[in-house]
């Protein structure tokens, strides 16, 4: 008998249920009554506070196309995992206690970077874990792609497409703010005339130069895709502490509004800001993610049946791969300014404001 725990932690995405379906069906189809799967409510919270339910084969049916997560999710910061809760509870010990009390063989943990760090911590504490790389940000080291990324690209791209027509009608400058505080994969993939990423600090004069160049070429409108974490060259020079200090007195809702303000003041042009925000994480998984999630979920089921733990189920060169957690936990996969996508974009005249 295999006893498996499963949870979804951190920001959600469209393909969490599709991935859990891969795990659940993969195990129930092969093991039948020789497996029990316990779903923890709202991520690590359920594991800490002993909130779970037994998931039958039926729970994994009909959820391929359903966005969100049937288990619920919450952010439990890795930084605070070693800090006792308001009642003095040791969270790590509590998670270990729940795991042992249920006599689990392993925990399947779906989540992004922070979630993965906690999964690795649990591995170091002696628990068997299998991490599945979820995030619309696609910033998990050790896998070519994460589930949720493609679905989010589709939404961000559609938002930019919609803006395209109205921007052209009014000859306006539009800033579309795309999710991604630390990395810009989603912004890069969504594309626009000017792309500003956290990894490539921008210079406002270069941005203005790129707008002017378009206008001289007879293009009356410009669309900028700006990552939530886009940063100017001056700000990039600040220490972390100095930058935090600056943000304390920040009068804009986000970097896009600051940028719009600078462009308007310096060029006199009218600028509109559009923030698709959490729509990028909402709705159904796209066809690509349905297939990817199924492969990753089934890959996890196979690893569990093989008794191989302490791993992330990633995709490397198009193939499902078991990546040791100690090799990837705590690392971010960032956009390199030399990435082929950046080079190709620059080649066709897209500006990165650098």
By CB under 6 A, residue 135 contacts ligand F6P: yes
Catalytic residue at 339? no
Cα 269 to Cα 215, 262, 354, distances in angstroms: 11, 10, 21
Nearer to ligand F6P, 13 or 48 (CB): 13
Residue 53 near ligand F6P by CB under 6 A: no
The residue (of 22 and 180) whose beta carbon lies closer to ligand F6P is 180
Q: Is 136 in the site for ligand F6P (CB under 6 A)?
A: yes
The least distance separating ligand F6P from the CB of residue 150, rounded to whole angstroms, comes to 14
Based on the shown chain and the rule CB under 6 A, indicate whether residue 181 belongs to the binding site for ligand F6P: yes
- Is 41 or 139 the residue whose CB approaches ligand F6P more closely? 139
Which three-class secondary structure state does DSSP give residue 28? helix
Query: Is 342 among the residues that bind ligand F6P (CB under 6 A)?
Result: no
41 touching ligand F6P, by CB under 6 A = no
Which of the ranges 88-96, 135-143, 154-162, 243-251 carries the binding residues for ligand F6P, by CB under 6 A? Answer: 135-143
**Residue carrying the six token digits 């060029």:** 267
Helix/strand/coil percent split, the chain, to 5: 45, 20, 35
CB of 76 to ligand F6P, least distance (A): 12
Residue 133 near ligand F6P by CB under 6 A: no
**Interface region with ligand F6P, contact rule CB under 6 A, candidates 22-30, 118-126, 133-141, 257-265:** 133-141
| Size of residue set near ligand F6P by CB under 6 A | 11
Rounded distance, CA 295 to CA 314, Å? 10
Query: Which residue has the closest beta carbon to ligand F6P?
Result: 179
Measured over all CA atoms, what is the biggest interatomic distance in the chain, rounded to whole angstroms?
A: 70
Return d(Cα 308, Cα 16) in angstroms, integer.
Answer: 22
Q: Which two tokens stand for residue 273?
A: 């800001």
Name residues whose C-beta falls within 8 Å of residue 10's C-beta, 6 or more positions apart in sequence.
43, 73, 75, 111, 112, 114, 115, 134, 135
Number of continuous H segments (helices) and E segments (strands) in the chain: 13, 11
In this structure, the number of other CB atoms found within 10 A of the CB of residue 322 comes to: 18
Using CB under 6 A, which of 23, 108, 179, 200 touches ligand F6P? 179
Residue 281 binding ligand F6P, by CB under 6 A: yes
Among the options 85, 90, 105, 137, which is catalytic?
A: 137
Restricted to residues 80-109, the positions that interact with ligand F6P (CB under 6 A) are: none
Nearest alpha-carbon partner for 200 in 332, 335, 331 = 335
Q: Which of 22, 133, 180, 276 binds ligand F6P (CB under 6 A)?
A: 180
Smallest distance, ligand F6P to C-beta of residue 98, A: 25
- Scanning residues 291 to 330, which ones bind ligand F6P (CB under 6 A)? none
How far apart, in Å, are the Cα atoms of 261 and each of 7, 169, 175, 258?
A: 42, 22, 11, 5
Q: How far is the CB of 74 from ligand F6P (least distance, A)?
A: 10
Residue 11 binds ligand F6P, judged by CB under 6 A: yes
Q: Beta strands 222-227 and 173-178: pairing type?
A: parallel
Which residues have CB under 8 Å from 308's CB, separation 6+? Answer: 322
Tell me which residues touch ligand F6P (CB under 6 A): 11, 75, 112, 135-137, 179-181, 228, 281
């Amino acid at each position: 008998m295999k006893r498996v725990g499963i949870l979804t932690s951190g920001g959600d995405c469209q393909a969490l249920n599709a991935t859990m379906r891969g795990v659940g069906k993969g195990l129930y189809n092969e093991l039948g009554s020789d497996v029990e799967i316990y779903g923890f409510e709202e991520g690590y919270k359920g594991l800490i506070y002993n909130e779970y339910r037994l998931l039958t084969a039926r729970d994994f049916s009909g959820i391929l196309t359903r966005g969100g997560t049937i288990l619920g999710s919450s952010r439990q910061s890795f930084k605070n995992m070693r800090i006792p809760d308001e009642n003095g509870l040791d969270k790590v010990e509590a998670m270990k206690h729940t795991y042992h009390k249920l006599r689990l063989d392993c925990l399947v943990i779906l989540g992004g970077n922070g979630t993965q760090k906690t999964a690795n911590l649990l591995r170091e504490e002696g628990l068997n874990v299998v991490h599945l790389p979820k995030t619309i940000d696609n910033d998990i080291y050790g896998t070519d792609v994460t589930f949720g990324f493609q679905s989010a690209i589709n939404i961000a791209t559609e938002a930019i497409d919609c803006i395209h027509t109205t921007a052209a009608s009014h000859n306006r400058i539009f800033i579309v703010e795309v999710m991604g505080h630390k990395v810009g994969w989603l912004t890069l993939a969504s594309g626009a005339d000017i792309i500003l990423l956290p990894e490539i600090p921008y210079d406002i004069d270069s941005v203005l130069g790129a707008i002017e160049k378009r206008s001289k070429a007879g293009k009356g409108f410009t669309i900028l895709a700006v990552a939530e974490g886009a940063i100017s060259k001056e700000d990039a020079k600040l220490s972390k502490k100095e930058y935090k200090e600056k943000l304390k007195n920040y009068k804009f809702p986000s970097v896009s509004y600051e940028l719009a303000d600078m462009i308007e003041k310096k060029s006199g042009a009218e600028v509109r800001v559009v923030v698709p925000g959490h729509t990028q994480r909402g709705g159904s998984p796209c066809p690509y993610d349905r297939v990817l999630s199924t492969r990753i979920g089934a890959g996890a089921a196979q690893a569990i049946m093989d008794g191989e733990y302490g791993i992330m189920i990633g995709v490397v060169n198009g193939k499902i791969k078991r990546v040791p957690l100690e090799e990837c936990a705590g690392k971010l996969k960032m956009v390199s300014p030399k990435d082929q996508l950046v080079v190709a974009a620059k080649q066709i005249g897209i500006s990165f404001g650098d």
